[in-house]
Amino acid sequence: MADSGIGAAAICLVHQGRPVWIEGFGMAADRAVDPDTLFSIQSTSKSFAAVAVLLAVQDGLLDLDVPITRYWPEFRVNSRFEATPGDRITLRLLLANRAGFTHEAPIGNNYDPAAPNFAAHVRSISDTWLRFPVGDRYRYSNLGYDLAGHIVERVVGVSYAEWLRRRIFEPLGMRSSTADPRVYLVAANRAAGTHKGYDSIPLVTPLVASGGVWSTARDMAAYAAFLAGRGRWQGRQHLAPELWAEMHSFALGGDYGLGVMRSERAYGKTPLRLLHHRGGGFGFGCNFVYCPEAEIGWAALFNRPALAGYRFGMDLIDKALAGRFGPRTPRLPITSLAPIQLPADRVRALRGHYVGRNVSGTIGATDGKLQFRKDKADSGERLVATAPDEYFAVNVEGETVGYRYYPARDDLPPHLECWEGEASLDYNGGPDDLLGPDRKEWQRYLGSYRVRQWGKPAMDVLVERRHGYLEINGVRLIAETESGLFFTSDGEAVDFRGPTATWRNLVLEPS
C-alpha cells in the first residue's frame, strides 16, 4: 500500500462458505478502515450485473437468447456490417462481451466529469458504432453491461439499483452494499477514491451496471461464499444450479463467461479453475477471486487503481492451493505440443504489427520461427505452430496460451483470437502491405490532439500519415465509410465529420 500510494484497503478470505479473515488497513477520511468501510468496486460490478440478469431469467422475466429488441423495441446502434444489429444482439452476447460494442459512450464515460442519469447514458449508446459484427468476437465493453442493466429495469419495473437490493444484497445479508448514489453519498464510513494527478475525483459514476456497485469486505465475503458455493448460501439455493452453470460455462469460447473470467491452472495433479473479475477506475480498485473446487474466495478493495492492489491476495491463494493440492505446474506444457514447419507464404502473411486492448507488438520470423515482440519490451514470446491457423506461446505466468488465426474479411484485417481474450490481436500493418490511398483531403485531420479526463488533459493523441494511411497513436485507420468517418484496425470509430472530432466516443481537442 505504501509503495503504491494506496491509503485505504480492506480484504476478506472465505473458506467452505465462512469468512476466515476480514480486515481493514489504512484510513478512510478520519477513521480507520474496517470490514464495513464502503468502497467502489468498479468493474467487479459486472459480476453482480450478470447475476441480476440471471435472477430475472430465473423469475421468468427475461430470456438470455432472444433479441434485446423484444424488451426495448426502439433500441438502435450503428453498424457498418448490418442494418439492424439490435435484432441479433441477445443478453447472453451482452454479458459475454461479444455483441461488438466499444467501451465508452458519448454521454457518461470514464473521462467525462459530469454524471448524467443512467437513462441518458444508455440512450447515448445508440449513437455509437459497433466495432465488429454481432457475435463475431470478444471485446471487453462497459456498454453491453449498462445496456443489460437498463433492460433489467425496463422489464422488472424498478430501478436497477433497487433490483440489486431486493434480489442480491438483502437475500445475501449484504447490508451495506448499494448501487444507489443516494445511499453511498451519505454513508459516513466510506473510503475516498484517489488517482495520481487529481485532487478530487467524481463521486458518482453514470456506469451504474458496469461499474456502479459499492460494497464492503464483510459483504464481499458473503458474495464470494455465494458464488464459490455455486449459487448456494447459508443452506439456501439463491441462484439455480443450471443458471450458475450458464454464468460459468464459457460456452462462447475464450476466458470470459457471463460476468466472470477464468484462469485455468494445475496444482499437483489437480486441474483447478480460478474465477475472477477485477475492477478499476474513478479512484478505486478491486480484486475478486473464487475457486469452487477448493471452496475458497477472496476480495481486496482499495482506494487507488494501482497495479499492486490487483495482486493483493494472489500469493496467498497460490500458496493455499499449492499446500493442499501440490506445487503449481503448467496445465499444458508447451513441450508437450508437436510443432509444424509453416509454409513460407503463411509466415509472410503473419509478419507485421498487431494491436490489442492491453498489448501491441510485432510478429517477426527468424529461420522460419515466429516470435511476438511486444512494443517497448526487451524480449519476445516464441509462437509455436501446430497447424496453419493454430499457434501457442507461454505467458508471463508460465502457462501455455493458444491463438487462432482468422484471415481478413468484411473490411476487417487479419486477427489472432487468444484464449486470453485481453491478449487477442488485430493486424495493424506489415512489410508487404501495398501503399494506402493517401488522399489529399486527409491533410486537415493531421495534427496533435488531447483527451481530457475529469476536466484535465490525460492523453496525448497524434494523427499522422504513414504508408498511405492515416494513423491515430500508431493504430491504422483502415476504412473510410464516408467522408471523415474512419474505422481503425481494431474496429474503433474515428469521426471527423462534426465540429468536434472523436475517437472511441472520446472528444479530441486540438492541442
pLDDT by 10-residue block (mean), the chain, 511 residues = 95 97 95 98 98 98 98 97 96 98 97 92 97 97 98 98 98 98 96 94 95 98 98 97 98 96 96 97 97 98 95 96 96 95 92 94 90 84 95 93 94 95 96 95 98 96 97 97 97 97 98 92
Of 35, 302, 37, give the one whose Cα is nearest residue 194.
302
Overall residue count recorded for the chain in this entry: 511
Q: Cα–Cα distance between 280 and 303 in angstroms, integer?
A: 9
Of 12, 461, 458, 11, give the one whose Cα is nearest residue 195.
458
CB atoms within 10 A of CB 212: 29
Question: SS in 3 state form for 93-149?
Answer: HHHCCCCCCCCCCCCCCCCCCCCCCHHHHHHHHHHCECCCCCCCCCCCCHHHHHHHH
pTM equals 0.97
* pLDDT of res. 271: 96
Q: Name, in order, each residue with C-beta under 8 angstroms of 133's C-beta and a sequence gap of 6 or more.
A: 79, 81, 82, 85, 100, 410
| Grid cell for residue 368 | 522460419
Q: How many angstroms from the chain centroid is the CA of residue 358?
A: 10
Matching residue, cell 475457486: 291
Of 3, 36, 40, give the one whose Cα is nearest residue 285.
40
Q: How many angstroms from the chain centroid is the CA of residue 64?
A: 20
Where are any strands of DSSP class E within 158-247?
214-215, 232-233, 236-237
Q: What angle in degrees, to the nearest 10, is found between the helix axes of 217-228 and 45-58?
A: 50
- b/e string for 129-161 if b means 16 or more Cβ within 10 A? bbbbbbbbbbbbbbbbbbbbbbbbbebbeebbb
Helix (H) or strand (E) holding 318: helix 314-325
Which residues partner with 487 through β-bridges? 479, 493
Which residue type does 150 have?
A: H
Rg (CA), the chain: 23
Rounded (5°) CA angle 160-131-372: 115
